[in-house]
Structure formats: structure tokens, C-alpha cells
């Protein structure tokens, strides 16, 4: 079981790094550095595809293809392959030790299915030319893989003896739902390149409620930069995407922040403090993206902050459920006394 737990922890860390790397690839406009999948112009390495890349550069020197972008894209794919192999290894070990209470072989097997679907989203991201819905789905898929890995890892940890009241468990679930919704909104901002649609703070385009086109901004099935009628996506639509994400950030900060303080009051001081710390950093990174006009390191770190919050919220949700409150108040007092 030590091997299983170590592999899980290593894969959680690698998946976190993969999500940040994927954000870096997308934000540096390298998502189409290799316009096919899984190789690069049908080859396993950028070196072997050099003839095709040179031809693409000769045809369009400022296009989406270059050696630097191709390397970024392929390194991301290599890393994703390593993570996928580790996840297969986790499933194998889980089945071999299926009688151990800490393992969850069926969940580990489901995780392989999620990884396969995630790989298909990676393919469609390239072959469908960065459609916002596909790219956002790819981000959500990556975070889903991370969440399942974190849950599997949480099962291997020694449970706390501190009882968690049902209200705290419900609050934990609500906070996780709010976080998931806000991350989805953030993905929609990023994949539509709407991060700088509002370049001022705290207002947006000089107003608290600017002119917006909600309909086209949140029309899901469309090409990148195209509205529902096939025309160019207007700034009002991009403003709507950005503004809704800002409002969501305030709501998420209030809900998750309140949950963090509730955790501390319930005796989960370290988890509550860690959640409040990461939440504060993530909020500041979001402000810095606007204030400093989306510097690449800050934007990638903002994606990392979202991933860190997912890990924390999964661990917290598992912990408070593993320590469910007994039914009778007399037992509760005994548990706290212990």
C-alpha cells in the first residue's frame, strides 16, 4: 500500500503541473503548434517534423506554427502520456489490493475512462481549431482527473477523530459546487480570450454594469471569435464573459471564505487556514491579471491556484465526510472529548 499511496501522491503533483503547463501552452498561443494529434505532422518529435514546420513558417511566418510553439505543445503531450501511464498503474495496484479498505478499484478504473475522454478533448482542441466549448471541456476534464486522484489519495490518509456536523458537510459540498462553477467561468474567459475585455478595476470599461451581450457571450456551440449568427464576436460579448466571471469571483470568495472560517471554528484549523490562504492568493492573482495586463507567469499561476483549490476542497470534503457526526448528542460530546 505504500507504493500505491506514493504513486497517487506523485500523480497528483504531476497532474497539477500538467494543468499549469497546459495553461502556459494555451496562453502562449501554442495550442496549434502542431496542427494534428497525437504527433506533430504525423511524427513523434518536433525534430522529425522540422520539414513541415519550416514549410508552414515559409507560408505564414506569423502563424500558429513555429518550432518553439511545437515544442511546447509536444512536451505537454509527452507529460500527459506519462500521467496517463501512472493512472493505469494506480488502477492495476488498486485491483491487486482490492481487499484493502483504502483502495477503490472501481473509481480508479473510472478514472482511466475519464483520462481517455480527456485525451479526446485534447485531440478535438487541435482538430476543431480551439473551439471555446472544447477547450473549456479540456480544462474541466483535467481538473476532474485531478479531483478523482485527490479523492483516491485522501482515502489512504489516517482519518481524524474529530466529528464533523452535517451542516459543515453540506457547506463543504456547496463550497465545492461554487468553486466548480467559478472555475468553469474562468475557463470560458480564458478560451474566449476575454481576460482583458475589462482593463480597469474595480469598474469594467468605466462602469459598474457596462454594456454587455450576454446572449452571444455565453452562446456555447460556436467557433472561436464568432457569435451566434456567424459574425465577429463583439466587445460587448467579451465584456459579458469577463464581467460575469468577476461577479462570480466575489460570490465564490464570500462563500468559500465563509466556509474556511466555519472549518476553523469546527476544529479543522489547519485545513481552514490553508483554504483561506490559497483563496486569498487566487483572488489577488485574478486582480493582478487585470492590473498588469495578463502577464504570462501570473496567468499560468492563476490556473495553478484554481487547481490547488480543487485539491484542497476535495481533501476537505473527504475529511468531513469520513468524520460524519454521530446521531446522538451524547456521542458527539464523547467524540470531542476524545
- The per-residue pLDDT string of the chain (338 residues; one tens digit each, 9 = 90 and over) reads 789 999 999 999 999 999 999 999 999 999 999 999 999 999 999 999 999 999 999 999 999 999 999 999 999 999 999 999 999 999 999 999 999 988 999 999 999 999 999 999 999 999 998 999 999 999 999 999 999 999 999 999 877 777 789 999 999 999 999 999 999 999 999 999 999 999 999 999 999 999 999 999 999 999 999 998 999 999 999 999 999 999 999 999 999 999 999 999 999 999 999 999 999 999 999 999 999 999 999 999 999 999 999 999 999 999 998 865 443 333 333 333 33
- Give CA–CA dist 263/323, Å, rounded: 13
Say if residues 126 and 35 touch (Cβ distance below 8 Å).
yes
Concerning whether 73 is annotated as a catalytic residue, the answer is yes
Orientation angle between helical segments 67-96 and 132-155, nearest 10 degrees: 40
Q: Which of 73, 223, 236, 334 is catalytic?
A: 73
In three-state secondary structure terms, 291 is: helix
Tell me the CA distances in angstroms from 28 to 64, 69, 136, 236, one per residue in order: 10, 8, 16, 24
Its pTM stands at 0.92
Q: Which of 244, 138, 239 is nearest to 185 (CA)?
A: 244
| Residue ranges per structural domain of the chain | 1-157, 161-338
Q: Which residues of 208-243 are buried (b: 16+ CB within 10 A; e: fewer)?
A: eebebbeebbebeebebeebeeeeebeebbbbbbbb
In three-state secondary structure terms, 29 is: coil
Amino acid at each position: 500500500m505504500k507504493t500505491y499511496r506514493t504513486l497517487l501522491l506523485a500523480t497528483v503533483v504531476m497532474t497539477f503541473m500538467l494543468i499549469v503547463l497546459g495553461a502556459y501552452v494555451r496562453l502562449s498561443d501554442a495550442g496549434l503548434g502542431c496542427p494534428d494529434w497525437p504527433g506533430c505532422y504525423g511524427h513523434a518529435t518536433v525534430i522529425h517534423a522540422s520539414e513541415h514546420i519550416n514549410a508552414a513558417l515559409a507560408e505564414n511566418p506569423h502563424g500558429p506554427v513555429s518550432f518553439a510553439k511545437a515544442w511546447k505543445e509536444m512536451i505537454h503531450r509527452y507529460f500527459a502520456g506519462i500521467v496517463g501511464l501512472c493512472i493505469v498503474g494506480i488502477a492495476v495496484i488498486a485491483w491487486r489490493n482490492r481487499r484493502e479498505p483504502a483502495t477503490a478499484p472501481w473509481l480508479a478504473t473510472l478514472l482511466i475512462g475519464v483520462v481517455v475522454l480527456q485525451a479526446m478533448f485534447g485531440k478535438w482542441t487541435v482538430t476543431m481549431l480551439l473551439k471555446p466549448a472544447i477547450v473549456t471541456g479540456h480544462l474541466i476534464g483535467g481538473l476532474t482527473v485531478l479531483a478523482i486522484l485527490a479523492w483516491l489519495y485522501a482515502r489512504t490518509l489516517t482519518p481524524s477523530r474529530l466529528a464533523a456536523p452535517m451542516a459543515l458537510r453540506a457547506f463543504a459540498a456547496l463550497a465545492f459546487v461554487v468553486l466548480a462553477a467559478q472555475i468553469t467561468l474562468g475557463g470560458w474567459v480564458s478560451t474566449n480570450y476575454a481576460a482583458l475585455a475589462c482593463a480597469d478595476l474595480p469598474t469594467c470599461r468605466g462602469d459598474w454594469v457596462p454594456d454587455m451581450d450576454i446572449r452571444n457571450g455565453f452562446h456555447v456551440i460556436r467557433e472561436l471569435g464568432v457569435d451566434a449568427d456567424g459574425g465577429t464576436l463583439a466587445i460587448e460579448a467579451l465584456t459579458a464573459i469577463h464581467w460575469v466571471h468577476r461577479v462570480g469571483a466575489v460570490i465564490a470568495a464570500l462563500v468559500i471564505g465563509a466556509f474556511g472560517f466555519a472549518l476553523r471554528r469546527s476544529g479543522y484549523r489547519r485545513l481552514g487556514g490553508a483554504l483561506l490562504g490559497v483563496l486569498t492568493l487566487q483572488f489577488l492573482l485574478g486582480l493582478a491579471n487585470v492590473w498588469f495586463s495578463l502577464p504570462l507567469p501570473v496567468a499560468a499561476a492563476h490556473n495553478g491556484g484554481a487547481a490547488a483549490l480543487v485539491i484542497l476542497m476535495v481533501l476537505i470534503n473527504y475529511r468531513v465526510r469520513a468524520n460524519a457526526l454521530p446521531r446522538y448528542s451524547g456521542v458527539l460530546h464523547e467524540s470531542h472529548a476524545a
